[in-house]
Amino acid sequence: MMDAATITTWMNEIAGAVRAERDYLIQLDAAIGDGDHGINMTRGFDAVVRALAQEEDGTPGKLLTLAGKTLVSSVGGASGPLWGSALRRGGRALGDAPTFDDGKLVEALQAALAAVVDLGAAVLGDKTMVDAMDPAVATLRREVDAGTVLPVALRRAAEAAEVGMRATIPLQARKGRASYLGERSIGHQDPGATSTALIVRALERTVAGSQ
């Protein structure tokens, strides 16, 4: 079973990962956007870590919702509302329980993906974060349903996210700022899909570390 500490550790892991990859995300974004993705994600998840540090007693659902609200209020750009809504919706899916199991985790991530798709209206192949998030969630669902132990299921989900991330390279962007480049967006890896893969990897490390 997972609990509030899982959420806090996951958010800490994300903050560390986006900080470590800040310059790489900036570089990817400068090629097909405006070069601030690493800065915005770092600012956002640093704010999340600070917000969660004030909340000792929250349930996992409450903490994830707070993380989402904090992103909405601190990031701006497209990533703020998208990841903010994703975590808020995921938090609501976790409900009020003090712990959650593998199935509930899948449910929360599916809700998070649905929030991103609802708000951003991107579909697979648009060269966005959905290209990493959708295969990750689908893989996790399939593995958990098949009875795979969670650390292994999450490893496969993270691999699926990275495959999806790399698959954005030959795509022409149809959503987000990269879409303004038209054909010139081809040949570059999408920064949003890249940070999404980092976020899934962070979850894998969180769960592997606690087992």
Partner 1 sequence: MAMRKFLNDPEQLVKEALVGVELAHSDLLRFDRENQLLISKSAPRQGKVALISGGGSGHEPLHGGFVGVGMLDAACAGEVFTSPVPDQMLAATKAVDGGAGVVHIVKNYTGDVLNFKMAADEAADEGIKVEAVVMDDDVAVQDSLYTAGRRGVGATVLAEKIAGAAAARGDDLAAVAGIVRHVNERARSFGIALSSCTPPASGKPIFDLPEGEMEVGIGIHGEPGRRRAPLGTASEIAELMVEAVISDLKPASGANLLVFLNGMGGTPQIELYLMFAEVEARLSKAGYKTTRSLVGSYITSLEMAGASLTVLELSDATTALWDAPVNTPALRWGV
Q: Is the CB of 78 or the CB of 153 nearer to partner 1?
A: 78
Contact 116, 82 (CB under 8 A): yes
Of 16, 39, 107, 138, the one binding partner 1 (CB under 8 A) is: 39
Six-digit token pair at 128? Answer: 């966005």
DSSP per residue, 31-43: HHS-S-HHHHHHH
Phi, psi of 105 (to 5 degrees): -60, -45
Residue 135 to residue 150: CA distance in whole angstroms: 16
Query: Does residue 19 bind partner 1 (CB under 8 A)?
Result: no
Residue 187 to residue 166: CA distance in whole angstroms: 10
Interaction pattern, residues 137-176, with partner 1; x per rule: CB under 8 A: -------------------------------------xxx
Query: Does residue 78 bind partner 1 (CB under 8 A)?
Result: yes
Query: Does residue 80 bind partner 1 (CB under 8 A)?
Result: yes
Query: Does residue 35 bind partner 1 (CB under 8 A)?
Result: yes
List residues near partner 1 by CB under 8 A. Answer: 26, 30, 32-36, 38-40, 43, 72-82, 119-120, 126, 174-177, 179-182, 184
